[in-house]
Amino acid sequence: MSTHNPSLDQDHVALLMDRVESSADAIAKAVKRTLLSPRFYTTDHAAMDRIDVSPVRAEWDAMMKEYEGDNNHDHFQRDAAFAEEVRTLMPQLSPEMRQEFLDFLISSLTSEFSGCVLYNEIRKNISNPDIKQLMAYMARDESRHAGFLNQSLKDFDLGIDLGNLKRTKHYTYFKPKYIFYATYLSEKIGYARYITIFRHLERHPDKRFHPIFRWFERWCNDEFRHGESFALMMRAQPQLLSGLNKLWIRFFILAVYATMYVRDHGRPLLHEAMGMDTTTYDMQVLRVTNEICRQVFPVELDIEHPAFKQGLDRLCAISQAHALAKARGGLWGKLQALGHAARGVLAFAGLYLRPVKTQALPEKIRCEPVW
């Protein structure tokens, strides 16, 4: 099973030096730019305006009806039982566990809000009615998700001012095609993560240490549908899924998979508290994501090959060593951090160059959230 020791070792203590004790710390953590933290994006609005969904019109219209039906409109409300669980369960968290849970809430909030900002900006800057309507629906959903997470941060008196986050966070420019690959993947992996946690806690309700996990089932159906929207937009532009673009697809799949794996292994207590082994959980999430992605990507990473997991474990070890060297500081610390960064690039390249599986795309694009 896992090669990672889930107990709190010295390395892990060092990684927790970035503690959140106040609202200012929470916003600083959300704004902070690291390789692993969620980013905010901008893109080419004129290119977004030109997208023609007519090749997938029937499936598109069916999807838009689902958005219009808005079956989660009443879902993101906290009830009395939620407040009661927070009141009794949160004081039981150890200080280290509290930090990991806050890290989880802040990074989840940042990525939900990142979607909200991106979709809203696209909506405001285009006139294409199909895409504009879609962006409005997705921004609506992500704003609910971010708001719901923020309420749980407020229970700790650590609510984040989202207007401030929007103004101060750095924005990365991505061409539309990179937005499609990256956002499709993050919506689908988001679904896979939420549903895997939800199903696990369904079987082990005694491990559900916070009520928010009870909300994940209906929540992740929104993420699934957002992913479906990007699948349809990509299938409407087949050039994005063929030729040299397959190399970009491989790159984005690996970047998204590796980021999740390394980040999750930086907070082992969270998974331990839920009674999950981090590696087993992550591999399950990757399996589900790989299966879903067959609707749109002609290439698939061979995640079951032992060398794949070895490569990810190497990236985790390098990332820990890098963080420790940075924390140590000084010229020697900086040099060591550079050395680890170079080793990280090599380990990533090794994974990138591994053979991939190829597949023909299915005629019916949409798939169902059956996991």
- How many residues bind Fe ion, per CB under 5 A? 7
Joined together, the tokens standing for residue 159 give 């609510």
**Of 15, 16, 26, the residue nearest 155 (C-alpha):** 26
Give the whole-angstrom CA distance, residue 163 versus residue 169. Answer: 10
Closest to Fe ion by CB, 140 or 326: 140
Nearer to Fe ion, 114 or 290 (CB): 114
Smallest distance, Å, CB 150 to Fe ion?
13
Query: Measuring CA to CA, which residue among 256, 255, 267, 257 is closest to residue 320?
Result: 267
The count of other CB atoms within 10 Å of the CB of residue 96 is: 15
Return the closest-CA partner of residue 202 out of 322, 362, 348, 371: 371
Residue 24 CB, shortest distance to Fe ion, in Å, is 25
Euclidean distance between CA atoms 115 and 187, whole angstroms: 9
Q: Is 193 in the site for Fe ion (CB under 5 A)?
A: no
Q: Is 200 in the site for Fe ion (CB under 5 A)?
A: no
Q: Which of residues 25-64 bind Fe ion (CB under 5 A)?
A: none
Stretch 235-274: interaction string toward Fe ion, x if CB under 5 A:
----------------------------------------
Cα three-residue angle 147-150-155, rounded to 5 degrees? 135
Span of 129-137, 140-148, 250-258, 273-281 interacting with Fe ion by CB under 5 A: 140-148
Say whether residue 226 binds Fe ion (CB under 5 A).
Answer: yes
Strand partners, 172: 41
Taking the C-alpha atoms of residue 88 and residue 320, their distance in angstroms, rounded to an integer, is 34
- Counted residue by residue, the chain has a size of 371
Residues 224, 150 contacting (CB under 8 angstroms): no
| Residues 162-191 interacting with Fe ion (rule: CB under 5 A) | 187
* Cβ at position 15, least distance to Fe ion in Å: 26
Least separation, in Å, of the C-beta of 107 and Fe ion? Answer: 13
CA 170, CA 351: separation in Å to the nearest integer? 29
Give the helix/strand (H/E) hosting 301. Answer: strand 299-301
Residues 115-134 binding Fe ion (CB under 5 A) are 115
Structural element, H or E, at residue 207: none
Part of the chain binding Fe ion (CB under 5 A), chosen from 78-86, 225-233, 257-265, 289-297: 225-233
Nearer to Fe ion, 234 or 315 (CB): 234
Q: Which is nearer to Fe ion, 187 or 282 (by Cβ)?
A: 187
The yes or no reply on residue 223 touching Fe ion (CB under 5 A) is yes
Considering only 145, 188, 214, 340, the residue that binds Fe ion (CB under 5 A) is 145
- Strand pairing class (171-173; 299-301): unpaired
Of 188 and 340, the one with the shorter C-beta distance to Fe ion is 188
Contact flag: residue 322 with Fe ion (CB under 5 A): no
Q: How far is the CB of 160 from Fe ion (least distance, A)?
A: 16
> Crossing angle, helix 23-31 and helix 95-125, to 10 degrees?
60
Residues that bind Fe ion (CB under 5 A): 112, 115, 142, 145, 187, 223, 226
